[in-house]
Amino acid sequence: MSDCMLRLQSVTKRFGTTMAAESVSLEVGQTELFALLGPSGSGKTTLLRIIAGLDAPDEGRVLIGGRDVTRLPPYRRGIGMVFQDFLLFPHKTVAENIAFPLKMQGKSRAETADDLKWVSQLVRLTGLEERYPHELSGGQKQRVALARGLVSRPSLLLLDEPLANLDRELRKRMEVEIRRFQLELGIPFIYVTHNQEEALTMASRMAVMREGCLEQIGDKLALYHRPATAFVAAFLGSPNTFEGDVVGVEDGRAEIAWHGHRFWSRAHDGLAPGLRAVCYVKSEKIAFASSGAALAGRLRDTIFKGQYADYLVCLDDGHEITVSAAPDLCHRPGEAVGITWAADDGDAFPAVGKE
Amino acid sequence: MNHRSGFGVQVLLLAALYLFLYGPILYVIYVSFQIDSIWPFPPTLTLEHHTDLWQRRDYHAALWNSVTIGFGTGLIATLFATLAAMAILKYRSPGSGLVAGLFLAPLFIAPILIGISSLMFSRTVLGMPGSIFGATLANSTYATAFALLVVLAQFARYDWRLDDAAMVFGARPWRTFWEITLPITWPAMLGAFIVSFLLAFNNLEISFYNLGATPTLPTLAWGALRHGISAELYALAAIINFAVFALFTVLYLLLRLGTIRID
């Protein structure tokens, strides 16, 4: 990557016997909003702390703007950060909180005033300068935290689960705003979250982490539609899982036998006839079909979700499959339905650790 | 009915417990204002013992020495306790429990042993005769443990990630302490100072062994006891109790204020 702003090289960190990061390498470009997605305990916050300098890696290097900062303390890295739970300084006013990075840099009063004005307008905070953090709403705290992270125009902004404590409405608004800040400022944002909706909404590229390892890294659409590992396939979206036997493999496709049914799916490394396989099909990629359906069953229930609905289809042999589709399909509970999906919409991986 | 009588019993129990805790102290204060301190009933008020006490020059010197030892001990113990508490809570490590345990262990050593052993140590090993300085240091060993308890209790509620935030935004460690940690946690340190000040101010055993003939209020009172309980001692006890009560009121208010600011 030619405009690489952040580069991690084989970063490894152990806490006792736990691997918080295992040989993690990644690059983030100058204008990217990069999401690190993973379940809690996957090591994503540790990775962020290593980038910030709050934790030192056991092995590997951290480069920011081409400069090796692995051994630099946090206060000499010149990066901004938005913390989980905001971490506003409770004894300082909003203005003092936001101006803190400038104060540490020894900026003059005039410069500080200019920067404060600029950032307050950017995050729309004007008028709250003299309040204390405990007098602010959750959304206002979030804006102050963002303003404090951005005010010194850092070369990189780290965001650690910044929206985890906001209600749904506010979270959606802030998702859009954070994207806007990133576009306006043109600096890389590295966004850690366990919420895939957030990651998929905001990021341009993303990485999925699991137990200290990067499972997959790339364009968010690629991760969503073309998962490279079983973990990513199972983690993103809400997939249906079919565990069956591999009947044959040809041309990058595998034929899976599952409870007397047979269907094709994209085959990933390690599949061979006779082996067990797990196949993931995202629920919105399954469609109702009146003829040529792969599977037949009866509609058990419809879960209305607003913009879409989850149709729970009970197959004749008792297995249940979720189909996400437009909410206005006039299927009645008990009605016979057929469902199907394209071979490329299934991802089959070797089954591990199961009978 | 049953409920009401239960409430009455609770109030009675509480009153009895407070009487147990404060009865003797209140009695001493009461006696200090009575003409007849041997059998002070019925009450006949007087300020005579207090004015007598005020005229005793030796008590003035002793008060000054006690305040000096208390102040010095308060400063040393608060400094050490703050550093130790940060080591234990901010920079957690597998050995934190042991570190804390070794700092708190002096709580379980009898003060008289600390008195004797610190005297022997400074005489024999350091070649230092008993002095106010030595007494301050000896009191500090004991007071640091108490101060640490106070600081730990308050620091446990402090969110150390605030320090992380300050560091990321460019504050060096000392600046972080000055800008963030101290303004939020100062009541903890003031509390530790007051507690260790009082411990050293009131201490008899440690100070006595390390001071030789130099008087402090407790050693002077202890010496005076050998000639029977004089009425000035009641007055002294009353005044010290008032002062301690006032200090603890300040401490309480500060800790209340502190929690409000932390939340």
Write down the ipTM of this complex: 0.86
Whether the Cβ atoms of residue A139 and residue A174 lie closer than 8 Å to each other: yes
| Count: domains in chain B | 1
Distance from C-alpha of B130 to C-alpha of B117, rounded to nearest angstrom: 12
Which residues in A231-241 are b (16+ Cβ under 10 Å) and which e?
bbbbbbbebbe
pLDDT at position A109: 94
Cβ atoms within 10 Å, residue B190: 19
Among 2.40.280.10, 2.40.50.140, 3.40.50.2300, 3.40.50.410, what is the CATH number of A238-350?
Answer: 2.40.50.140
The type of residue at A335 is E
Cβ of B175 within 8 Å of Cβ of A101? The answer is: no
Q: How confident is the model at residue B263 (pLDDT cuts 50, 70, 90)?
A: very low
3-state secondary structure chain A: CCCEEEEEEEEEEEECCEEEEEEEEEEEECCCEEEEECCCCCCHHHHHHHHHCCCCCCEEEEEECCEECCCCCHHHCCCEEEECCECCCCCCCHHHHHHHHHHHCCCCHHHHHHHHHHHHHHCCCCCCCCCCHHHCCHHHHHHHHHHHHHCCCCCCEEEECCCCCCCHHHHHHHHHHHHHHHHHHCCCEEEEECCHHHHHHHCCEEEEEECCEEEEEEEHHHHHHCCCCHHHHHHCCCEEEEEEEEEEEECCEEEEEECCEEEEEEECCCCCCCCEEEEEEEHHHCEECCCCCCEEEEEEEEEECCCCEEEEEEECCCCEEEEEECCCCCCCCCCEEEEECCHHHEEEEECCCCC
Q: Provide the residue range defining the domain that includes B105.
A: 57-262
Cβ of B165 within 8 Å of Cβ of A152? The answer is: no
Tens of pLDDT, residues A154-208 = 999 999 999 888 888 888 888 988 999 999 899 999 999 999 999 998 999 999 9
Q: How confident is the model at residue A131 (pLDDT cuts 50, 70, 90)?
A: very high
Which of B167, B168, B262 is the closest to A90 by Cβ? B262
Which of A74, A78, A105 is the closest to B167 by Cβ? A74
Cβ of B164 within 8 Å of Cβ of A90? The answer is: no
The domain ranges of chain A are: 4-230, 238-350
The encoded tokens of residue B116 equal 């004797």
CA angle centred on B218, ends B216 and B222, rounded to 5°: 115
Cβ of B167 within 8 Å of Cβ of A73? The answer is: yes
Which of A54, A100, A134 is the closest to B164 by Cβ? A54
Residue B231 lies in a domain: yes
A-side interface with B, Cβ within 8 Å?
A: 16, 49, 52-54, 73-75, 77-81, 83, 85, 87, 89-91, 100-101, 104-105, 134, 148, 152
Distance from C-alpha of A27 to C-alpha of A3, rounded to nearest angstrom: 10
Choose between A331 and A130: higher pLDDT: A130
Instruction: Compute the nearest-CA separation of A40 from chain B (Å).
Output: 18
Tens of pLDDT, residues B207-237 = 888 887 788 988 888 888 887 777 888 888 8
Q: Which residues of B touch A52 (CB under 8 A)?
A: 164, 168
**In the 8-state DSSP scheme, what is residue B123?**
I
Tens of pLDDT, residues B62-97 = 999 999 999 999 999 999 999 999 999 988 888 888
User: Which residue reads 């792969």 in tokens?
Assistant: A294
User: Which residue reads 């980038």 in tokens?
Assistant: A51
Whether the Cβ atoms of residue B225 and residue B233 lie closer than 8 Å to each other: yes
pLDDT at position A353: 60
Which 148-187 residues of chain B touch chain A by CB within 8 A? 159, 161-162, 164-172, 175, 179-180, 183-184
Residue B27 lies in a domain: no
Distance from C-alpha of A238 to C-alpha of A281, rounded to nearest angstrom: 8
The encoded tokens of residue A39 equal 């379940």
Q: Give the CATH number for residue B210.
A: 1.10.3720.10
Residue B176 lies in a domain: yes
pLDDT at position A206: 95
The type of residue at A296 is A
Architecture, CATH, for domain A4-230 = 3-Layer(aba) Sandwich (3.40)
Which of A49, A91, A104 is the closest to B169 by Cβ? A104
In terms of Cβ atoms closer than 10 Å to its own Cβ (0-12, 13-18, 19+), residue B32 is buried
Tens of pLDDT, residues B184-202 = 998 889 889 999 999 999 9
Whether the Cβ atoms of residue A90 and residue A132 lie closer than 8 Å to each other: yes
Q: How confident is the model at residue B3 (pLDDT cuts 50, 70, 90)?
A: low
